[in-house]
Amino acid sequence: MRLPVSDTSPAAVVILAAGEGSRMKSRTPKVLHTLAGRTLLGHALAAADELSPQRLVVVVGHAREQVGAAALAAAPQAAIVVQDQQLGTGHAVRMVVESVGAMPGTVVVSYADMPLLRGATLRQLVDQHRECGNAVTVLSARGDAAGYGRIVRDRSGSFLRIVEERDATTDERAIDEYNSGCYAFDGALLADAIKRVTTDNDQQQEYLTDVVDILRRDGHPVGTMLAADAGEVAGVNDRVQLAQVRRALNDRLLREWMRAGVTFVDPGSSWVDVTVTIGQDAEIGPQTQLEGATVIGQGARVGPGCLLADTTVGEGAVLLHVVSRQAEVGPRATVGPFAYLRPETSIAADAHIGAYVEIKKSSVGSGAKVPHLTYVGDATIGAGANIGAGTIFANYDGVHKNHTEVGQNAFVGSNTVLVAPVNIGDGAYTAAGSAIGEDVPAGDLGVARGRQHNSDGWVLRNREQTRSAEAAQRTRSGKSQ
């Protein structure tokens, strides 16, 4: 979603992402951990992008190459500013001002580890900031303020400053309104004030929060905007919080889809990436995960037990216990239970893929059936063809992958091995149990198996007094009467 570009587009959004995130105890930088199909940083960039800022700046420090590259991959227009040492949030913003200069207009500063913060909330912050003519507007929240900077007000309720918990008095610690870490600034005033921030605090760091006090003492109006939903400003510092935030984001997404006309049978066990699209009246069953660029058509039924990544599902298709990556399933096609669709697979309309079937880089024509226990690789299967149970498309000769073509309305007998490259013509048949290595022209029957020979009375001679021999004896003597 992108909000309409307006002349209220901010001059810049600055995202702080230089911290280490050591509580994640991870080899992956904190802001590159993912939820709902995007990194923490990716969510922050997406929210920023909804404002169409004239400039998007990401401050990197720890793992700067990796984080900077990820930022540019998600937002190629971003400017990357390196903060060599993490000397505080104020220091990080000073590095930005020193690197790109003052940014006249509204400058939003936010963090890379607040993935629930919506673009719409940032927009509200910018709008209120403009309407009030503030030098700075702080996005605050109310609730359990432990660990956060507190919003300090005078007796009349006017906003004075932010005090960090470790620098706060007992009275100040009792305040339940806290600083989210997200702000709208007047860019010119910020550029001036950021130079005057001292390190006179418990951590001896440059606090961005001190800018509020500096601007107010200079006589500029400062204000706050209370977040309607404190959950939106929840930060991620460890993997417990990551799981909580993932659950919250998923709940939010599923509520939006349900309000748009999608049924979730068990919202608690379905997971949907932000990049997924779902049509009206689709029904998503329990234990189903939809990832990446997956698109679910109207009225399709997906689940229980599906994992679909970058998969397109047509209208009215039915998928049951399917794992699929980069595949396409046509309208009304049925897949599963227990099917595996691998990249570059395309199943046409009304086709049926049944139990224990794996398909890779192949197209299955409309109305064709691959009902049971089959591997299809590097093949084209014509419309209306029927592939018998246990058929194997032997596509790999140990060196090359080879292609198999099965014509329209062809009928491949059970347990056929199709040794690629090979062509089965339109309407051709193969006999069950054949190993077909040569083309079968249209309308022919290909038979490639040993002829059957029955050795007369072998069991009676070689398995005397077994149950088999006795049963055979009864039948044979009955017949001979």
Identify which of residues 202 and 256 has a Cβ nearer to ligand UD1 in the complex.
202
**372, 400, 403, 453: the active-site residue:** 372
Neighbour count for residue 471 (Cβ, 10 Å): 11
> Among 10, 19, 267, 365, which residue interacts with ligand UD1 (rule: CB under 6 A)?
19
Identify which of residues 79 and 435 has a Cβ nearer to ligand UD1 in the complex.
79
Identify which of residues 149 and 267 has a Cβ nearer to ligand UD1 in the complex.
149
Residues 421 to 460 in contact with ligand UD1, rule: CB under 6 A: none
Rounded least distance, CB 165 to ligand UD1, Å: 8
Identify which of residues 86 and 326 has a Cβ nearer to ligand UD1 in the complex.
86
Which region, judged by CB under 6 A, interacts with ligand UD1, from 173-181, 270-278, 357-365, 384-392? 173-181
Q: What tokens were used for 445?
A: 């029957």
> Among 45, 136, 162, 376, which residue interacts with ligand UD1 (rule: CB under 6 A)?
162
CA angle at residue 269 from 300 to 312, to 5 degrees?
Answer: 30
Annotated active-site residue 220? The verdict is: no
Residues 67 to 126 in contact with ligand UD1, rule: CB under 6 A: 83, 86-89, 91-92, 111-113
Identify which of residues 63 and 379 has a Cβ nearer to ligand UD1 in the complex.
63
Rounded least distance, CB 244 to ligand UD1, Å: 15
Q: Is 207 in the site for ligand UD1 (CB under 6 A)?
A: yes
Three-state SS letters, the chain: CCCCCCCCCCCEEEEEECCCCHHHCCCCCHHHCEECCEEHHHHHHHHHHCCCCCEEEEEEECEHHHHHHHHHHHCCCCEEEECCCCCCHHHHHHHHHHHHCCCCCEEEEEECCCCCCCHHHHHHHHHHHHHHCCCEEEEEEECCCCCCCEEEECCCCCEEEEECHHHCCHHHHCCCEEEEEEEEEEHHHHHHHHHHCCCCCCCCCCCCCHHHHHHHHCCCCEEEEECCCHHHHCCCCCHHHHHHHHHHHHHHHHHHHHHCCCEECCHHHCEECCCCEECCCCEECCCCEEECCCEECCCCEECCCCEEECCEECCCCEECCEEEECEEECCCCEECCCEEECCCEEECCCCEEEEEEEEECCEECCCCEEEEEEEEECEEECCCCEECCCCEEECECCCCECCEEECCCCEECCCCEEECCEEECCCCEECCCCEECCCECCCCEECCCCCCCCCCCHHHHHCCCCHHHHHHHHHHHHHHC
Rounded least distance, CB 52 to ligand UD1, Å: 23
Rounded least distance, CB 186 to ligand UD1, Å: 18
Q: Is 181 in the site for ligand UD1 (CB under 6 A)?
A: yes
Which region, judged by CB under 6 A, interacts with ligand UD1, from 17-25, 41-49, 244-252, 368-376? 17-25
Rounded least distance, CB 103 to ligand UD1, Å: 17
Identify which of residues 151 and 276 has a Cβ nearer to ligand UD1 in the complex.
151
How many chain residues interact with ligand UD1 (CB under 6 A)? 28
Amino acid at 455: S
Which region, judged by CB under 6 A, interacts with ligand UD1, from 175-183, 276-284, 311-319, 425-433? 175-183
Q: Is 212 in the site for ligand UD1 (CB under 6 A)?
A: no
Site string for ligand UD1, 225-254 (x = CB under 6 A): ----------x-------------------
List C-alpha distances in Å: 386 to 25, 171, 346. Answer: 53, 78, 16
List C-alpha distances in Å: 48 to 15, 117, 122, 273, 323. Answer: 9, 10, 8, 19, 34
Which region, judged by CB under 6 A, interacts with ligand UD1, from 15-23, 306-314, 321-329, 416-424? 15-23
> Among 32, 59, 381, 406, which residue interacts with ligand UD1 (rule: CB under 6 A)?
59
> Among 148, 257, 340, 375, which residue interacts with ligand UD1 (rule: CB under 6 A)?
148
Q: Is 159 in the site for ligand UD1 (CB under 6 A)?
A: no
Cα 309 to Cα 325: distance, rounded to the nearest angstrom:
5
> Among 78, 125, 208, 282, which residue interacts with ligand UD1 (rule: CB under 6 A)?
208
Which region, judged by CB under 6 A, interacts with ligand UD1, from 12-20, 124-132, 223-231, 375-383? 12-20
Neighbour count for residue 7 (Cβ, 10 Å): 4
Rounded least distance, CB 178 to ligand UD1, Å: 5
Rounded least distance, CB 147 to ligand UD1, Å: 7
Rounded least distance, CB 80 to ligand UD1, Å: 12
> Among 149, 303, 330, 367, which residue interacts with ligand UD1 (rule: CB under 6 A)?
149
Q: Is 54 in the site for ligand UD1 (CB under 6 A)?
A: no
Cα 225 to Cα 179: distance, rounded to the nearest angstrom:
10
Binding site for ligand UD1 (CB under 6 A): 16-19, 59, 61, 83, 86-89, 91-92, 111-113, 148-149, 162, 164, 178-181, 207-209, 235
Catalytic residues: 372
